[in-house]
Amino acid sequence: MTLLSFSPPWFYGYDVVLEIGFALTALIIAFFAFKIFHITDQRPVWLFGISFLLIAISYVIQSLLNLLIVTQTDTFVCNALKLPYISLFGTYGIFVHMLFMTAGLVLLTYMSFKIEKPRVLWVLLSVALIAIFSSVSPLHVFFLLSTTFLAIILWHFISNYRQTRQMATLLVVLAFAFLLFGSVHFLISVDHELYYAIGHVLELFAYMLILANLYVVLSHGKKT
């Protein structure tokens, strides 16, 4: 099995700052989703919150892994965990990141199907994880599946926007469009490191739009 590192050496440090910001943003999104769920008791809102909580955890793990590499403390952690090779620590960290990110995206995809059959969720998650963990190139499979899930999610929000024509919904559409384009760049970055940085920049725009969406929703709520 071949597993490559996420971040190119020349991008170390910048990726940590961005990933911490992504994690905090995802946590804020999850918090407000749970807050809205307690008011409205809408199941999709609860699924949305759980999804972004899982995504936040994945970013925390990824930023921690890259931070250890930047500060050159990965050797110390590896020795503390009694791992024979430093590469094993990075491999385990990447797999855990992919686990939580895939779970979050699968849950968002499941939400977009508008069905209430938990078996469909578990089948989607099982197939995705088996495909990633059994592949000889897990990063390629992970980014390919992420791109597919984001395309489905984007189409769901585009359909919602066509029905509502609301600014808040449009911001979500744009956000997931940036996430989709970023995922495509991550897919390419497995062989071209520059696209990894571009993917992060696109993610930055996406989460800024999601925060703008929260601001619009909260402002509208105060007026009403």
Q: Is residue 1 part of a domain?
A: no
Q: Is residue 148 part of a domain?
A: yes
Domain range enclosing 210: 9-223
Name the residue among 174, 203, 184 with its Cα closest to residue 14: 203
Q: Is residue 3 part of a domain?
A: no
Residues present in the chain in total: 224
The number of distinct structural domains making up the chain is: 1
Residue 126, class by beta-carbon neighbours within 10 Å (0-12 exposed, 13-18 middle, 19+ buried)?
exposed
| Whether 190 contacts 135, CB under 8 Å | no
pTM: 0.81
- Tell me 137's DSSP state: S
Locate 197 and state its tokens: 């940085």
Name the residue among 101, 89, 205, 90 with its Cα closest to residue 143: 101
pLDDT in tens, 154-194: 998 899 888 888 777 788 888 888 888 777 766 665 556 66
pLDDT in tens, 82-138: 555 445 556 777 888 899 999 999 999 998 888 888 899 999 999 999 999 998 888
Q: Is residue 211 part of a domain?
A: yes
3-class SS letters over 183-201:
HHHHHHHCCCCHHHHHHHH
Q: Is residue 207 part of a domain?
A: yes
Q: Is residue 2 part of a domain?
A: no
Amino acid at 68: L
Cα–Cα distances (Å) from 74 to 81, 104, 121, 172, in that order, read 10, 27, 35, 37
Distance from first CA to last CA of the chain, Å, rounded? 56
Q: Is residue 52 part of a domain?
A: yes
Name the residue among 164, 184, 210 with its Cα closest to residue 56: 210
